Amino acid sequence: MDVTGDEFAANREAMLEKLAELEAEHAKAIAGGGPKYVERHIKRGKLLARQRVELLLDEDSPFLELSPLAAWGTDYQVGGSVVTGIGIVEGVECLVTAHDPTVKGGASNPSSLKKSLRAAEIAAENRLPAINLVESGGADLPAQKEIFIPGGKTFRNLTNASAARVPTIALVFGNSTAGGAYLPGMSDYVVMVAERAKVFLGGPPLVRMATGEESDDESLGGAEMHARVSGLADFLAADEHDAIRIGRSIVRRLNWRKLGPAPKPDYAEPVYDAEELLGIVPGDLKIPFDPREVIARIVDGSEFDEFKPLYGTSLVTGWASLHGYPVGILANARGVLFSEESQKATQFIQLANQVDTPLVFLHNTTGYMVGKEYEQAGIIKHGAMMINAVSNSKVPHLSVLIGASYGAGHYGMCGRAYGPRFLFAWPSAKSAVMGPQQLAGVLSIVARAAAEGRGQPYDEDADAAMRVMVERQIEAESLPMFLSGMLYDDGIIDPRDTRAVLGLSLSAIHNGPIRGAEGFGVFRM
Amino acid sequence: MITTLLVANRGEIARRIFRTCTELGIGRTAVFSDADAAAPHVAEADASVRLPGDAPSDTYLRADLLIEAARATGADAVHPGYGFLSENAGFAQAVLDAGLTWVGPSPAAIAAMGSKVESKRIMARAGVPVLAEVDPAEVTEADLPVLVKASAGGGGRGMRVVTSLRELPAAVESARAEAASAFGDPTVFCERYLETGRHIEVQVLADEHGTVWALGERECSIQRRHQKVIEEAPSPLVDERMRDELFEAARTVAKAIDYVGAGTVEFLVSSDRRFFFLEMNTRLQVEHPVTECVTGLDLVALQLRIAEGHRLPLEPPASNGHAIEVRLYAEDPAADWHPQTGTLHRFEVPGDVRVDSGVAGGSVIGVHYDPMLAKVIAWAPSRAEAARKLATALAGAKIHGVRTNRDLLVNVLRHKAFLAGEIDTAFFARHGLLTLAEPLGDERLAAVAAALGQAEVNRGGGPGGWRNVPSAPHRKRFAVGGTEYEVAYTFSRSGLTVDGEDIRLAEATEERVVLDVAGVRRAFDVGRYPGLVCVGPVTLTPVPRFAEPGTTLAAGSLVAPMPGTVLRIAVSAGDRVRAGDPLLWLEAMKMEHRITAPADGVVAELPVSVGKQVDVGAVLAVVRAEGEPS
């Protein structure tokens, strides 16, 4: 790759522009409920959600924040009024969830729920102890229809984790009432902050309405009461710092052992500069690029042993290691997946399962090839083989959308619905059933055919307007921020961070055992 | 001929004497208290004998045990070093009675000079000028200020300056107590106190055959609490004429008592350049190395030769160049010279300097003995060059784990007045102790180096404190003295950078941190220990992120400022006290520390008794202020 050429410079310029937009959106999530509510919160002597998280984590340790753009494109605050991520506490990788009380009192909206459930799913799949930093006014009541029924899973997840011998810890900083009371209620360890935590099923007004009893917050759900009387609190913290200190001391005693194999300790950094990742993907995704340029900048020592390099060359497969973890990589080279590529992928996925090697999918696909020749040669069969392999594969999968991810190609490359342990997108990515122009064109052809069938004249002006409109809509809905807002990925990342993100993901994954599939579905031959 | 020498001492002087023994082929016998069992002087000896206990009175002051130790190890000579029994005529006699060689003057000469009161009389008779002595009971307003001194004293112990008659009784009483404890003789006397005197002394060396050398003078005017801190040879004050007079007086003193061996005649020089005999120290001085540096002699070797009966050449060698010595103490000059204790994790002095130390990396500095860690001596052709060399060596020294007076020493050595030779015993007061004790290093930058260095070590080649959605910088806090420094930094793509400042980490290992400060690379030596980071000359205490829930102290609690022993108690529980009243005295590092009532009130609790060992922070007494509920 020529890193001094105009093409590289233009690609880089386009990527930097997208990164600036991304930073602006991340800033919205960080800003929480805005200056007024943030100041009020601080004035009450409280720590912000991210401050709580930072204090909880080991010094100078990484934090992989998840779904930071949840709720993007909805009416709710970007970020979904909750912070989730994987961080290291006393040397243990934990799934940390912190309500942001500056956003409507930390109330849960449909996006918050999706985000929290995704975090719980990550914790369960990767065997991560969970720490909940609780301060939430419960459900955003006007949106209760989207929260109440599915939200029950929150509490079920906690006790399921506990039963799976993965501890859960709740540090209660403030309100955790009504249904929210089950957050501490279902956790293995509960710490409450004196004079701040408030945990009850029903507050004084509700109690008076229900039974006529006069009561107050402290006697119904104060931290002192729960620590000394009800026993719901295992520890009474003097203040927020103290609660976090106690939380850390709980983790210190979890006797936590990772079940996956340890990484090789002395791995080399890539030979090629990660900075150059900015200039690889063209602004226009119609122009193909060589994914080996990406691989060379994210794997240990830039060493990549390619498998079947001369066969099905539109898909690159091969072995490498990342932060000392062995990985198999599948990366689209020229967009289209043909029968050969599908068969190559199927074989490679089976090989990885045979030797318990996690897989990384680097997406830049326009989908499986169409056309008479290909249909007759069995492209459906071969695509199905690949989808069968990826669906039944049991080694952990990581997906990164670096370019296009269209059609069934998205499935075959382990798209969201295929359960990758983590899925991240570059700002350059796009994902939809097909490209916007193709989709608009298909609609146009179908409409024209329908008009002809009815013997009516076709309105060319309306067709042009429809195509523009559809193209715009599909383009907008295939962009990563939109998809991230829908929780269809775990975050949009700076391409230069790809190695760090994948390395941290792999490390988190290795809390659980790594074991390939014993068998697959029947491969249609 | 001496075949094996027992050094009845410890620390740096024991090691110093052993060094000469090694050169001369003389066997080395050490003695050690329990606290000194792991001390370097023990490790360097051929044989060593334990003196059970820690207190000097149980160990290094036990003449009987020392002579038994010599017998047990086959030592045929005893060198007393300085301090302890070095000026104890009874011990000298006991050594001689045991048939051993005593490396020092005769018991009679020691006795003659042992009493300061007596020695002054002898000198006055011999025509040497002396400061008039006053009976404590007869001090009048006209005599003020006066110095209360222990007759048997030395090293500043048992000395008190009194400026008003009202203070006199208390000063006399406490000087008596300290003298009794330190020297076993409570006799004290008063003399006129020269507030701006200069302390100049002459090294004498005399053999049994009548040769008496006045070997050169030393100036020791930079003092704290009457204890020498910086010494040099020659004195910048003394000219040829004065030197002749001083040498003549010194020889007169030595001859007056038929002195044999090494000794030092001390004079106080007033601002009008008149000198007065103060006392004669009948032993090797702490500051003898500066004389060795300018004369090229080994004074310990000469002491041993004289003890063996050899003759000195008729004339001493000429002096050459200039030598300066500093005494590196484990103490906090800015906090009333409080002695410091703890583990000296590392002790290294770079450069072309002589280091006479009693400690090494890993030594534990305890409460039982003098807090002097080492003497550092530099020689150069001129005084200014010697000062520069010594200051640079000290500034670059790695002294990790225990606070010392290093910064003060360097500041003095670089001070304009010092370099101009304008020194006297009031130097610290005149130029301001707090200014002189100013920290050497840039504390803020040291905190940055400590923070970024630690962050790099914590990262260990991994992503460190990487964030995909950075919301706030990382922070580390360090305390230096009472000041707290917070460093905010980020793991950026170009490495570790300080927020809001043009400072970047260039490289970091466990022992070295290089910062890029606005394009200038600055290197720092770093030492990391539990609860402690040393960056160059700056010692930082990492502030923990979380306060451990601790026990809270009752209001009005007086806690021990340092580990020590309760010496005396002036009050009982229930007594009414006024603010400033002494409640009890704590002895630590051979100094008395008075604990006074913080306010008018009642002694509510007194959980200690005389003789009790207390740790730093232990509650000594609780004074409940008047009107406060019980």
Diameter over CA atoms, chain A: 82
Residues of B in contact with A262 (CB under 8 A): none
CA distance linking residue A338 with residue A343, whole number of Å: 9
Burial of residue A24 (CB within 10 Å: 0-12, 13-18, 19+) is exposed
**In chain B, which residue's Cα lies nearest the Cα of A248?**
B546
What CA–CA distance (Å, rounded) separates A327 from A309?
17
Q: Which positions in chain B touch A490 (Cβ < 8 Å)?
A: none
Kindly determine whether residue A61 and residue B465, on different chains, have CB atoms separated by under 8 Å.
Answer: yes
Q: Which residues of B touch A245 (CB under 8 A)?
A: 546
The secondary structure of residue B531, as a DSSP letter, is: T
Enter the tokens of residue A12.
Answer: 């880089």
Nearest to B463 among A55, A65, A504 (CB): A504
Chain A residue set in contact with B, beta carbons under 8 Å: 26, 29-30, 50-51, 54-55, 59-65, 68, 238, 241-242, 244-245, 248, 275, 323, 491, 493-494, 496-497, 500-501, 503-504
Amino acid at B447: A
Q: Would you place residue B193 in the very low, low, confident or very high pLDDT band (cuts 50, 70, 90)?
A: confident
Q: Are A53 and A85 in contact (CB under 8 A)?
A: yes
Q: How high is the pLDDT of residue B606?
A: 87
Task: Measure CA of the first residue to CA of the last residue in chain B; give whole Å.
Answer: 72
Which residue carries 């075959």 as its tokens? A412
Q: Which chain A residues are within 8 Å of B474, Cβ to Cβ? A: 54, 59-60
Closest residue by Cα to residue A401 from A427, A421, A438: A427
Tell me what pLDDT residue A315 has: 97
- B493 Cβ under 8 Å from any chain A Cβ: yes
Cβ-based contacts of A491 with chain B (< 8 Å): 468-469
Residue B374 · residue B390 · CB < 8 Å: no
* Residue written as token pair 């210190």: A252
Count how many pairs of residues, chain A against chain B, have C-beta atoms within 8 Å: 67
Threshold 0.80, pTM exceeds: yes
Measured between CA atoms, the residue of chain A closest to residue B496 is A60
Residue A29 DSSP class: H
Q: State mean pLDDT over B536-552.
A: 82
**Mean per-residue pLDDT for B449-457?**
96
Q: Which residues of B touch A494 (CB under 8 A)?
A: 468
Lowest mean pLDDT among A296-310, A440-454, B67-81, B299-313: A440-454
Q: Which residues contact B286 (CB under 8 A, 6 or more apart)?
A: B13, B82, B228, B231, B327, B372, B375
**Nearest CB neighbour to A59, from listed B458, B462, B468:** B458
Nearest CA in chain B to A499: B463
| A60/B468 touch (CB, cutoff 8 Å), yes or no | no
Q: Can you give the pLDDT of all 525 residues of chain A as single tens digits?
A: 889 999 999 999 999 999 999 999 999 999 999 999 999 999 999 999 999 999 999 999 999 999 999 999 999 999 999 999 999 999 999 999 999 999 998 999 999 999 999 999 999 999 999 999 999 988 888 889 999 999 999 999 999 999 999 999 999 999 998 888 999 999 999 999 999 999 999 889 888 988 889 999 999 999 999 999 999 999 999 999 999 999 999 999 999 999 999 999 999 999 999 999 999 999 898 899 999 999 999 999 999 999 999 999 999 999 999 999 999 999 999 889 999 999 999 999 999 999 999 999 999 999 999 999 999 999 999 999 999 999 999 999 999 999 999 999 999 999 999 999 999 999 999 999 988 888 999 999 999 999 999 999 999 999 999 999 999 999 999 999 999 999 999 999 999 999 999 999 999 999 999 999 999 999 988
Under 8 Å CB-to-CB from B284, ≥6 apart: which residues? Answer: B13, B81, B82, B86, B262, B299, B300, B303
Across the interface, which of B458, B469, B474 has its CB nearest the CB of A68?
A: B469
Does any CB of chain A come closer than 8 Å to the CB of residue B166?
no
CA closest to A269 among chain B residues: B461
Q: Where are the alpha helices (DSSP H) in A190-239?
A: 204-211, 217-221, 223-225
Which residues in chain A are contacts of B468 at CB distance < 8 A? 63-65, 68, 491, 493-494, 497, 500-501
Long-range contacts of B393-397 (CB under 8 A, 24+ apart): B393/B349, B393/B350, B393/B351, B393/B352, B393/B353, B394/B326, B394/B328, B394/B349, B395/B440, B395/B537, B396/B349, B396/B350, B396/B351, B396/B525, B396/B536, B397/B347, B397/B348, B397/B349, B397/B350, B397/B537
Which residue in A60, A497, A503 is closest to B455 by CB distance? A60
Q: Tell me which range, A65-69, B164-168, B612-616, is most confidently predicted by mean pLDDT.
A: A65-69
Residue with tokens 């069969």: A381
Cβ B51 vs Cβ B59: under 8 Å: yes
User: What DSSP letter does each residue of A234-294 carry, written as one string?
Assistant: SEEESSHHHHHHHHHHHHHTS-----SPPPPSS-PPPSS-GGGGGGTS-SSTTS---HHHH
Contact across the interface for B465 and A50, Cβ inside 8 Å = no
Inter-chain CB proximity B463 and A503 less than 8 Å: yes
* Closest Cα in chain A to B494: A275
Min Cα–Cα distance to chain B from A407, Å: 29
pLDDT at B627 over 80: no
Whole-angstrom distance, CA of residue A395 vs CA of residue A325: 13
A500: nearest CB among B463, B474, B546:
B463
Cβ of B551 under 8 Å from any chain A Cβ? no
